[in-house]
Amino acid sequence: MAQSTAAPTPTTQILTPLPLRAIAPWAVFVGVLMLVLLYFVGAEQGVTSLVSGEGVHEWVHDARHLLGFPCH
């Protein structure tokens, strides 16, 4: 079985880690932006309201329940 051991398998190449310095700025800015999106789907107009009224809560009502967030 010399052939199979000699053949390089491209899928087992070890990937070099991405430097943390390259990830950090994206993680901070886009990460926070994504958390804001999650807040609007999961919790806006529940305990805290950034937009007045019940519109956002009512619009995403079913998604909020089915995704597992406490809704009301």
Partner 1 sequence: MNSATVRTLLVRGMLAGLGAGVLAFVFAYFVGEGSVDAAIAFEESHAHEHGEELVSRSVQSTAGLATGVLVFGVAIGGIAALAFCFALGRVGRFGARATAALTALAGFLLVYLVPILKYPANPPAVGDPDTLAKRTSLFVLMIALSVLLGTAAVLLGRRLAPAWGNWNASITAGAAFVAVVGVAMAVLPQGDAIPRGFPAADLWEFRLASIGIQAVLWSAFGFLFGYLAERVLEPRAVRGRVATLAA
Sites of contact with partner 1 (CB under 8 A): 10-20, 22-23, 25-27, 30-31, 33-35, 37-38, 40-43, 46-47, 53-55, 58-72
Answer whether 45's CB lies under 8 Å from 57's CB: yes
- Rounded to 5 degrees, φ, ψ at 3 are -60, -50
User: Please, what is the minimum distance in Å from the beta carbon of residue 43 to partner 1?
Assistant: 6
Q: Which is nearer to partner 1, 41 or 50 (CB)?
A: 41
AA letter at 63: A
User: Please, what is the minimum distance in Å from the beta carbon of residue 5 to partner 1?
Assistant: 17
Best CA proximity match to 47, nearest among 18, 29, 11, 72: 72
User: Please, what is the minimum distance in Å from the beta carbon of residue 29 to partner 1?
Assistant: 10
